[in-house]
């Protein structure tokens, strides 16, 4: 069984009758298959591994595409004139940007960010969803909404090689294969180890910082922005603050996620991850500095809050250029 990009010709959702009931700390099992793993254990096992393998994008003959190492290898051929990249930020709460977002040719979302109940602010369409291995459990728990194929959504999963190995020991890969068996028309792709390594190289090129030696984890936002640069002629990013936003004492306090209003604040998450050198953390502010640099030379625009990068490049290297095919 392998993952293929197929044309959707019907309407189907993953119902409880298609799989066993997801339990607290449980697993997802087909009624006729026994490929079952404890997802919280998967998350702990994956994140405890040394050396995350993060990687890259490609262009060939001017045609935009991403190569995701499937079995057999398949190309994700997708191109959009304009994309709305919708973050999960609390900046979107009360924004009423939903209709504007839905007017985009392609709408990109991340992880398990919902639309149901938040349509007025974040829209309801989803063309592409980029999902971290650690969000797989939450996506499955919200499968009735997030895995509904009526929108013909493409799903891209990423994770460290320990979770994606194909010798039976890659627990996330095993569960994605099971998902593909349950919903064979679902468009599921995974990023190969080689392409993941290129994302590491890209981070070092843009920041001068070695990701592994600095105990940094790249965020789903990093993967999503780099992928969007390959797929979209124009990117409108909704809910992403500028790099210096949290330095101001007068910045408005919003939740880290618009769908978790009682959760931690956005700036507390950004600052704690950026400053912490013990253990592995995301470098949200560093990543946003890179994104601002990319916006200086690419057709990238930021809304909610609305801002433009300053014309001066400060702490990061030259802007991103796609990795040539075959490299």
Map out the domains of the chain as residue ranges: 53-139+192-308
pLDDT tops 70 at residue 55: no
H/E element holding 171?
helix 171-182
Q: Is 168 left (phi over 0), alpha (psi -120 to 50) or beta?
A: left
pLDDT tops 60 at residue 90: yes
pLDDT tops 80 at residue 143: yes
Mean pLDDT of 122-144: 93
Strands 187-190 vs 232-238: parallel, antiparallel or unpaired: unpaired
pLDDT for 220:
92
pLDDT for 88:
96
Residue 233 CA, chain-centre distance (Å), reads 19
Which pLDDT band holds residue 70 (cuts at 50, 70, 90)? very low
C-alpha pair distances (Å), 1 with each of 5, 41, 161, 274: 13, 24, 19, 41
Mean of pLDDT over the chain: 75
Q: Is 137 left (phi over 0), alpha (psi -120 to 50) or beta?
A: alpha
């Amino acid at each position: 069984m392998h993952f293929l990009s197929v044309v959707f010709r019907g309407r189907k959702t993953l119902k409880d009758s298609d799989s066993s009931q997801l339990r607290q700390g449980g697993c997802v099992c087909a009624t006729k298959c026994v490929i079952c793993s404890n997802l919280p254990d998967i998350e702990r096992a994956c994140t405890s591994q040394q050396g995350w393998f993060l990687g890259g994008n490609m262009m060939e003959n001017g045609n935009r595409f991403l190569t995701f190492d499937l079995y057999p290898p398949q190309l994700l051929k997708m191109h959009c004139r304009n994309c709305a990249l919708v973050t999960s930020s609390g900046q979107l709460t009360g924004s009423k940007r939903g209709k504007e977002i839905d007017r985009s040719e392609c709408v990109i979302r991340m992880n398990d960010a919902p639309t149901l109940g938040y349509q007025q602010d974040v829209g309801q369409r989803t063309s592409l969803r980029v999902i971290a291995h650690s969000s797989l459990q939450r996506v499955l728990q919200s499968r009735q909404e997030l895995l509904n194929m009526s929108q013909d959504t493409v799903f891209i999963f990423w994770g460290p090689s320990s979770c994606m190995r194909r010798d039976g020991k890659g627990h996330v890969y095993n569960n994605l294969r099971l998902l593909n068996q349950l919903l064979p028309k679902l468009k599921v792709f995974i990023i190969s180890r080689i392409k993941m390594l290129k994302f590491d190289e890209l981070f070092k090129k843009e920041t001068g910082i070695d990701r592994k030696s600095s105990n940094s984890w790249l965020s789903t936002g990093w993967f999503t922005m780099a992928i969007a640069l390959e797929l979209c002629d124009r990117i409108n990013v909704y809910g992403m603050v500028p790099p210096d936003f949290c330095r101001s004492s007068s910045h408005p306090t919003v939740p880290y996620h618009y769908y978790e209003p009682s959760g931690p604040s956005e700036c507390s998450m950004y600052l704690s991850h950026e400053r912490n050198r013990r253990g592995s953390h995301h470098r949200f502010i560093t990543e946003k500095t890179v994104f601002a640099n990319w916006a200086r030379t690419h057709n990238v625009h930021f809304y909610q809050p609305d801002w433009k990068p300053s014309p001066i490049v400060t702490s990061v290297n030259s802007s991103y250029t796609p990795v040539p095919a075959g490299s």
